[in-house]
Structure 1
Amino acid sequence: MPSSLHKLSAVGLKSLPSGKHEDGGGLRFVRRKDGTTAWVFRFTIHGRRREMGLGPYPDVSLKAAREIATEFRQQARRGIDPIAKREAEKREAIRNLHMLQDIAQDCFEARKAELKGDGTAGRWFSPLEIHILPKLGRMPIAEVDQISVRDTLAPIWHEKAETARKAANRLNLVLKHAAALGLNVDLQAVDKARALLGKQRHEAKNIPALPWQDVPTFYASLGQGVTELALRLLILTGVRSAPVRYATPDQIDLDARIWTIPAELVKSRKGATGDFRVPLTDKAVKVVEEALRHGGGVLFPGQRGKPISDMTMSKLMRDRGMAARPHGFRSSLRTWAEETGQPYEVAETALGHVVGNSVERAYQRSDLIEKRRVLMAAWADHVTGNGEAEVVSIIGVRG
């Protein structure tokens, strides 16, 4: 053993007085005047003298301190700064300890601006919250692999295929978000889990819709409560439930009989941008006027003046023993339009669908509002029992 190393002894450490005591090779034992102790390693790197703490005694024994000092001394000889290396390892460890639930929430916050109503409906986050986070939420995101994802999705992979697909897609976005934050993640974990789970057996089903011939009977059964008024407007306009729930008085021009739905509440339509105008029939105007009697910031307020929940209208129909759901009225309207000979372009535009290819859309920039006004008036007559299912000619009406 070189005389320049291992100058101290384990027995003698306890009786050393206050001061700095060299063990050799840069390792130093320090006893402060208050009685506390510490190990310090001193080294030279790139011509610069540095020192670093190795921990207190007796938490770090003489033997352990020597082993650590030997490792750091070898690093310094190879031109590696032990302090910089240790700090880098700490940062890496901290990054890898980020839990999935925290990154998922951060990802959700970052995406809110592109979601309807800043994601308050919960549709974006709920697949994660219900099916992923209860099992994997407290797992460091660096440990999320295809096996953990497979085991989490397996119970719903075939039985709730669409839900499982959404949950997998959301998790994939969270992993990409983590990678953008500089965290160590497996970006292929979800795809590899899909390969392990295999092809889904479940076939997607269309949302149940009420036959268009039965819509008048259902409409006539609705009262004047907030939820029933919301359903009335949804049926008469053919829009999705979110725009109805988040409808506000300032979106509606009763004089022009136009409801302008903000772009953020319009479901993404490839090739379409901006707000969406909806013509209001006489019947729809009466529903709006009745809704305005409730006052408040939204037409259809729920608890504490906030918009009614995403499930409120569905619950009303479910409580009546109906299989059909609110979204299905769009199908009822579209089928009625087909059966009664309404022009394809007008019917599709009424539902907010994009018609034609990019070249056709470049020349056809009208939203066919006046033609849609005629179509929706005929639909309203059918819904309210004021008209038959006759073909309504709207040829020649300018859009």
Structure 2
Amino acid sequence: MRAKNKLSAGFIRTAPAGKHSDGAGLWLIKREDGGAQWMLRVTVHGRRREMGLGGYPTVGLADARKLSERWRSLAASGRDPIKEREAERRAARREDISLSIITEDAFEARKAELKDDGKAGRWLTPLKLHVLPKLGKVPVTDIDQRDIRDTLAPIWHTKADTARKAMNRLSIVLRHAAALGLDVDLQATEKAKALLGKSRHVAKHIPAMAWADVPAFYASLEEPTLTHLALRLLILNPGVRSKPLRHLRLEQIERDVWTVPKGEMKGQKGKAPAYRVPLCKEAKRIIEQALPHARNGYLFPNTRGGVISDMTLSRLMERRGLEARPHGFRTSLRTWLAEATDAPHEVAEAMLSHATDSGVVRAYRRTDYLEQRLALTERWADYVTGGDGQVVKLVGAAK
């Protein structure tokens, strides 16, 4: 039998960085910063498993030995201790059917559908801010339409979009609870909407510049500053929103194509591919002008090591007394496409990185219309830089 209980409490307190064996598969991993972690190595069905037992000193030597003895016994009986611990945790969570716990469980189940596995946290935010503080500890089986009405009433008319998102997320959580076998009212959110009534909030679209006014504004951005250059590149490629543009890295550009990484484009989910942006001659000229400003791999850096902010672009337009904002150039382009070109609908939508048709149709249509988009981008650039804005004829465009 392997030696056990090799370590002492005194040694652990002063142990150098590295791995220290207590015997029988129990190890103390000491870090350079002084922190430490217990780790157990066991073999199950011929496969070695490594299982964290907690950090030291939260888990002391005696506790670590007790835990390791328990999990070693399970492994000796042919059961995987890691899977057994996960099962115990799931069982414990099932005993707690509060809205907070069920919400976390629903979020975990949906992560793969969300951008960047939901790491940005936006899916949970409406619930965390406006629902869970009031209803988080309430058993999900006890929640009814009156609870939901009273919780969302303060923002129903004043923050309508946030309230709508919170209501939709809550409906998903209730359906998840029902799938777990819990007796919940799946109609509670619809009943709550009936009690709250129709929202008085009127959605406001982001102000856009008329496409006829874009050339004059583009010409006014004549200084070689980061703000002017970034706005010019955004106008030339409004299909790419402000964030991917401001975070543009030099390695994303190869010849005439700028490839926005997976997950960086709004609305991309799951296995959506990276988005390719065809660069027209004018866009490449702007990029060349911006290169001397590049720092840390970013084309549009700020002085603190990050990138310029979205407000930097918006404030320039605000200071000039313009109602339009940078995001509005997407509308400018889309209106120009409709009124001054014969671009097919699917190509025009691809210019704005919009998904069209059903998922099945998109699965069989393996094209992003790069060549057609380049032709349109060149014509748009010709127009905004003072060209004649003639009707675009797309040769070979998909029907």
Whether the 8 Å CA contact 1:150–1:197 is kept in 2: the answer is yes
Cα pair distance change 1:149/1:344, threshold 3 Å? same
Equivalence for 1:164:
163
The reply to whether residue 262 of structure 1 matches residue 230 of structure 2 is: no
Query: How far off its partner does 1:398 sit?
Result: 9.8
Whether the 8 Å CA contact 1:370–1:397 is kept in 2: the answer is no
Cα pair distance change 1:356/1:178, threshold 3 Å? closer
RMSD (CA atoms) = 4.1
| TM-score, normalisation: structure 2 | 0.61
Equivalence for 1:191:
190
Equivalence for 1:329:
329
Provide the C-alpha distance between the structure 1 equivalents of 2:325 and 2:214, rounded to a whole number of angstroms.
12
Equivalence for 1:69:
none
The reply to whether residue 214 of structure 1 matches residue 213 of structure 2 is: yes
Equivalence for 2:234:
234
Query: How far off its partner does 1:271 sit?
Result: 13
| 2:390 partner SS | coil
| Structure (1 or 2) with the larger CA radius of gyration | 1
The reply to whether residue 389 of structure 1 matches residue 368 of structure 2 is: no
Provide the C-alpha distance between the structure 2 equivalents of 1:386 and 1:303, rounded to a whole number of angstroms.
34
| 2:96 partner SS | helix
**Which runs of 5 or more structure 1 residues have no equivalent in the other structure?**
1-89
| 1:265 partner SS | coil
Equivalence for 1:342:
342
Equivalence for 1:294:
294
Provide the C-alpha distance between the structure 1 equivalents of 2:147 and 2:303, rounded to a whole number of angstroms.
39
Query: How far off its partner does 1:149 sit?
Result: 1.6
Cα pair distance change 1:133/1:364, threshold 3 Å? closer
Cα pair distance change 1:115/1:236, threshold 3 Å? farther
| 1:260 partner SS | strand
Whether the 8 Å CA contact 1:207–1:328 is kept in 2: the answer is yes
Cα pair distance change 1:387/1:122, threshold 3 Å? farther
Cα pair distance change 1:91/1:265, threshold 3 Å? closer
The reply to whether residue 369 of structure 1 matches residue 398 of structure 2 is: no
Whether the 8 Å CA contact 2:343–2:392 is kept in 1: the answer is no
Whether the 8 Å CA contact 2:247–2:307 is kept in 1: the answer is yes
| TM-score, normalisation: structure 1 | 0.61
Equivalence for 1:278:
277
Whether the 8 Å CA contact 1:209–1:324 is kept in 2: the answer is yes
Equivalence for 1:378:
379
Whether the 8 Å CA contact 1:115–1:264 is kept in 2: the answer is no
1:99-114 to 2 correspondences below 5 Å: 100=100, 104=103, 108=107, 111-114=110-113
Query: How far off its partner does 1:142 sit?
Result: 5.4
Query: How far off its partner does 1:169 sit?
Result: 1.4
| 1:172 partner SS | helix
| 1:127 partner SS | helix
**Percent identity at matched positions?**
54
Counting matched residue pairs gives 305
Query: How far off its partner does 1:285 sit?
Result: 1.9
Equivalence for 1:251:
252
Provide the C-alpha distance between the structure 2 equivalents of 1:224 and 1:104, rounded to a whole number of angstroms.
49
Provide the C-alpha distance between the structure 1 equivalents of 2:181 and 2:307, rounded to a whole number of angstroms.
38
Equivalence for 2:96:
95
